[in-house]
Structure 1
Amino acid sequence: MMGWYDAGWGWMGMVLMVLFWAVLIGVILWGVMRLTQRPREGTAPAPVESPRQILDRRFASGEIDEEQYAAARRALEGRSVDHTPHE
C-alpha cells in the first residue's frame, strides 16, 4: 500500500508530511508547557507596605518592644514623643 504522498506528490509530499507533524507536535508541547508552567517569582509587583504596617510587622515579629512601638506610633501619627523616663 502506498501513502498519499505517492499519489503524484513525490518527495514534496514527504516533506510536507514531516513538516505538518513537526508543527503539530511543537504546538502541543508549547500548549502543555504553557498550561503547566508556574509563574516566575518576581513577576508580580510586590505590595507596598505603609509605615504603619511596617511598624506593626516589626512589633509582631519581636524586633521592637512595646515602648519602642508606642513611641514610633506616636511619631508616625504626628504627636510628640514623650521623653520622660518610665518607671
Structure 2
Amino acid sequence: MFATLATTAVVTHAGPWAAGFGWVFFLIPVFWFLVIGLIIFLVTRSRRRYWAHGGPDGSYGPPWMRAGSAESTLSERFAKGDIDETEYRARLEVLRANRPNA
C-alpha cells in the first residue's frame, strides 16, 4: 500500500515529464533561438531600410560609404582655396585616368 502511495505521489508531483512529455524541454531553447533570430532580423531590416532611404543628411548607403567621391572632395578643396587651378586640373586628370571602370 505504501509503495502504491509513494509511486502515485512521485508521478503526481514529478510533473508532465514523468508522464512522457520530457521532449517538451527541447522546445525551450528552440523558442529562445527563434526570439533572438527575430530580434536580429528586425534590427538588420530596419537598418537596411534606413540606409536605403537615406540617412539624416539625405545621403544613401551605409555610413562608411556615404562620403563623397574623390572628385567632389577635390572640387571642395579647390573651392576652399586649398589648391590652385593647375594642381586641381592635374589631380582631376589623374583621378579620371585611374577610375576602376574606365
What TM-score bracket applies, with the shorter chain setting the length?
0.3 to 0.5
Calculate the TM-score normalised by the size of structure 2. Answer: 0.38
Q: TM-score, normalised by structure 1?
A: 0.42
Higher relative contact order (CA 8 A, sep 6+): 1
Kindly indicate which of the two structures has a greater share of residues assigned to helix: 2
